[in-house]
Structure 1
Amino acid sequence: MKLGIDVFIEGACTAVKGKKVGLLTNVTGVNHRLKTSIDLLHEHQDIDLVALYAPEHGIRGDAKEGASIESSTDPRTGLPVFSLYGESKRPSEAMLQSVDVIVFDLQDIGSRYYTFIYSMAYMMEACKKYGKEFIVLDRPNPIGGLKMEGNLVEEGCRSFVGLLPIPNRHGLTVGELAMLFKDEFGYDCSLTVIPMDGWRRDMYYDQTGLAWVPPSPNAPSLSMALLYPGTCLVEGTNLSEGRGTTKPFEYIGAPFIDGFALAAAFNGLKLSGICARPTSFVPTYQKYKDEQCHGVQLHITNRDHVNAFQSGLALIALIAKLYPSDFSFAQHANGRYMFDLLAGTKQLRALIYQGESSTFIQQSEEQLRTFEQLRKPYLIYDSPKGAHV
């Protein structure tokens, strides 16, 4: 299997010969031999790399979630690094002044909350505005390109963790998303997608032969990525989503929870492809720092059958029911609820309190069918014969 960066370096890079190139990337921008895209472009005799652009977590992936990043100079190459996660998330004209073309090489994890795809959207917007070309070097969707889960983001709940009306689990690669953004959502820049060679829609990341490079500090594994479409919703509550542990988004808990009771209740739901194990943990930072939390670790028993969105929502609803006096949704100083931004709707929070969250799963099915039709023209890669896409 060849990644977009491999195809680009082997010959497609002739499209940028004689042009000033900027690269939007981070530590996940590597070829199949784990050499960085920064080095590959910087050392290439026919590529004039003049600027780097850093998304959330920074160009080297060492900044915590939500931490503002300053523009800087890359010590290895001496190139300027323009932050796309600082005072503004939109590239300015000054940031693009020195370049003719922007190359995008970032590994997404397949969930709409992940901000890399919105850094891509804003860069596409800027390329259109300032007359620059945009090239996407495609990478696998690590949780596959067949399944979709969740609902579409409502207009009143748009944010940088849900900027556009796509599902929680979208089943697209970044290249496919770029084409969708361009034609359906108005990010109409001069776009070229360099596809992979050998990826199929039914492939999980561990079937590609590629090494897992954590896209961010709390994305250590494929199991985390598979659960993330559901367990990321926990961030909008007073529960710990396991940040500050070795199993973020797999450990869910709080000091007030009885992990054994919660695991029994969750397993009693008999959800497909997943089970809960009681556990205790002490986060080293963020919620409940240095406090003992009790809860569950979610274990995927069949990744082809699990619905992470349904599972994460069911777990939150159970905790709200079992601990009504302790559980709460996190509210910002401006009155907005983070949960609404992650859920993409204000309806779900109320349904959880009413004990009717399961109805939301049924309601969202129609939205998924709508999105399935919307995305069809932008699917680059083949599916196994008989697979439903």
Structure 2
Amino acid sequence: MAFLSSFKSTVFLWFLIVSSCGNTEKQPKNNTISQNNPIETPQNKPIIVGANSTQDYIGMLKGKKVGVVANLTSVIFNENGHTHLVDSLLALDIDIKKVFAPEHGFRGQADAGEKVKDGLDTKTGLPLISLYGKNRKPSKALLEDLDIVVFDIQDVGVRFYTFIATLQLVMEACAENDIPIVVLDRPNPNAHYVDGPTMEKEHTGFLGMTTIPLVYGMTIGEYAIMINEEGWLTDKVKADLTVVPLKNYTHDSEYNLPIRPSPNLPNNTSINLYPSLGLLEGTNINAGRGTEFQFQRYGASFLDSTQYHFKYRPKPNFGSKSPKENNKVCYGADLSEIPSMKEVSLRWIIDAYTNTTDKSKFFNTSGFTKHAGTAKLQQQIEAGLSEEEIKATWQEDLKEFKAIRKKHLLYQ
């Protein structure tokens, strides 16, 4: 029975589906991959994202009323660059009824934390329903005219990056209303390690809805399977979930995101440093917002100028209308040339705290706890613990999570 239960996470395999393209009947819930047999990865072949395997999921959408959860990263790559998933599906006569927009909006123009408004997409005329305003979970009324929902958003593998919270709430709403959901998988550029403090139940929220580490080392498709199978949806409801997997991918695959996943993650370096410098979002330190080097530098006017050779001045720009320390000279560090990270580093936040001229200005306690997932990390930094001492306290939780994670991996 234990073996059979591992087949309940529905994963949509291309070699099982090609023969059924065009079939509009409801797909069975238990169309799965054995988790003991991860997808084999041919060497030296380009990674193919789930959205590009159109033949593998188009049959599920034909003749159905479809909702799409998408943003600017939801594209199909082709010889001309890329085509947005919504445009591609419309060209294939898929009946898209509405688009649900996460943080930053459908076209990706909103600031971090800025509410996204309902409206109409100017290109397609489709209704846009915000999932980052007064509603973060689709209501029964918003789903009642849909037969199926497609979710396709590029993640970066960090717990407080809000797209996985949106995924979880959409899955939950679909489960509660008996609507199948299809997740088109995409690579996670931070999938090569697991690290950081684990979210504590008392601090869960939109910056972390489940008790996972800061960096969880899974693609968004694998993560969807895990929350479904581990009973992490409210009242342990289970979604009728289908994951269209990646091809030619492993967790160690290098993948350069061709489209910035959000306004303040402009390149590989910022994405790689985001787990570490993202913790500064819960402080009053500027982490590069208001410059062209977001999450590649940090500084503040109240850091000790005698300890730093680097300084910069944040100003409003694309993706940051009101950056911290706006138009002030910030003393800090430039990390834009640092080698690729394979861990969450605390050395920069500890350095900044140590060299703060007024420590009462440093932490935004509520915001920091939400980002860290625990009140302990602030206490440990204030108490002067070293990075090694703090990271030692994470290890038992990380070990437990890795055992859970292993059950739901689709890739080597």
CA distance in 1, matches of 2:197, 2:359: 28
Instruction: Quote the offset at 1:371 in angstroms.
Output: 1.0
Instruction: Quote the offset at 1:283 in angstroms.
Output: 3.2
CA distance in 2, matches of 1:86, 1:40: 27
1:80-115: CA deviations, max 9, x gaps? Answer: 111101112111111112111110000001111110
Change over 3 Å in CA distance of 1:301–1:235 after alignment to 2:
closer
Equivalent residues of 1:283, 1:290 under 8 A apart: yes
CA distance in 1, matches of 2:232, 2:215: 22
Q: Work out whether 1:12 is the aligned partner of 2:57.
A: yes
Instruction: Quote the offset at 1:28 in angstroms.
Output: 0.2
**Residue of structure 2 equivalent to 1:43:** 91
Q: Can you give the 5+ residue segments of structure 1 that lack an aligned partner in the other structure?
A: 264-277, 383-389
1:298-344: CA deviations, max 9, x gaps? Answer: 145432x542x22xx2222222222252463444xxxx610011111
**Residue of structure 2 equivalent to 1:325:** 358
Q: CA RMSD in A?
A: 1.7
CA distance in 2, matches of 1:306, 1:177: 20
After superposition, where does 1:274-353 map in structure 2 within 5 Å?
Answer: 278-284=310-316, 285-299=322-336, 301-303=338-340, 306-307=342-343, 309-310=344-345, 313-323=346-356, 325-326=358-359, 328-331=361-364, 337-353=366-382
**Residue of structure 2 equivalent to 1:372:** 402
After superposition, where does 1:47-86 map in structure 2 within 5 Å?
Answer: 47-86=94-133
CA distance in 1, matches of 2:215, 2:361: 25
Equivalent residues of 2:301, 2:330 under 8 A apart: yes
CA distance in 1, matches of 2:194, 2:308: 27
User: Could you tell me the percent identity over the aligned residues?
Assistant: 34
**Residue of structure 2 equivalent to 1:155:** 201
CA distance in 2, matches of 1:302, 1:261: 23
1:331-374: CA deviations, max 9, x gaps? Answer: 4xxxx610011111011111111101532211102211111110
Change over 3 Å in CA distance of 1:291–1:322 after alignment to 2:
closer
Instruction: Quote the offset at 1:281 in angstroms.
Output: 3.1
After superposition, where does 1:1-389 map in structure 2 within 5 Å?
Answer: 1-7=47-53, 9-33=54-78, 34-45=82-93, 47-143=94-190, 145-187=191-233, 188-206=238-256, 212-258=258-304, 261-262=307-308, 278-284=310-316, 285-299=322-336, 301-303=338-340, 306-307=342-343, 309-310=344-345, 313-323=346-356, 325-326=358-359, 328-331=361-364, 337-358=366-387, 359-382=389-412
TM-score (norm 1): 0.87
Change over 3 Å in CA distance of 1:135–1:3 after alignment to 2:
same
Indicate the SS of the match to 1:229.
Answer: helix
CA distance in 1, matches of 2:67, 2:162: 19
Change over 3 Å in CA distance of 1:78–1:15 after alignment to 2:
same
CA distance in 2, matches of 1:344, 1:257: 25
Equivalent residues of 1:282, 1:289 under 8 A apart: yes
TM-score (norm 2): 0.82
CA distance in 2, matches of 1:114, 1:31: 23
CA distance in 1, matches of 2:273, 2:300: 19
1:103-149: CA deviations, max 9, x gaps? Answer: 00000011111101110000001001111100000000022x33111
Instruction: Quote the offset at 1:10 in angstroms.
Output: 2.5
Equivalent residues of 1:253, 1:293 under 8 A apart: yes
CA distance in 2, matches of 1:147, 1:327: 34
Instruction: Quote the offset at 1:282 in angstroms.
Output: 2.7
Equivalent residues of 1:256, 1:326 under 8 A apart: no
Equivalent residues of 2:185, 2:221 under 8 A apart: yes
Instruction: Quote the offset at 1:194 in angstroms.
Output: 0.3
CA distance in 2, matches of 1:282, 1:150: 28
Give, as a single letter, the amino acid of the residue that structure 1 aligns with 2:227.
Answer: F
Give, as a single letter, the amino acid of the residue that structure 2 aligns with 1:59.
Answer: F
Equivalent residues of 2:65, 2:95 under 8 A apart: yes
Equivalent residues of 1:55, 1:83 under 8 A apart: yes
CA distance in 1, matches of 2:270, 2:306: 22
**Residue correspondences, number:** 353
Indicate the SS of the match to 2:333.
Answer: strand
Equivalent residues of 1:242, 1:283 under 8 A apart: no
Q: Can you give the 5+ residue segments of structure 2 that lack an aligned partner in the other structure?
A: 1-46, 317-321
Indicate the SS of the match to 1:350.
Answer: helix
Instruction: Quote the offset at 1:257 in angstroms.
Output: 2.4
Segment drifting more, 251-260 vs 337-346: 251-260
Equivalent residues of 1:29, 1:36 under 8 A apart: yes
CA distance in 2, matches of 1:258, 1:282: 18
Indicate the SS of the match to 1:193.
Answer: strand
CA distance in 1, matches of 2:287, 2:192: 26
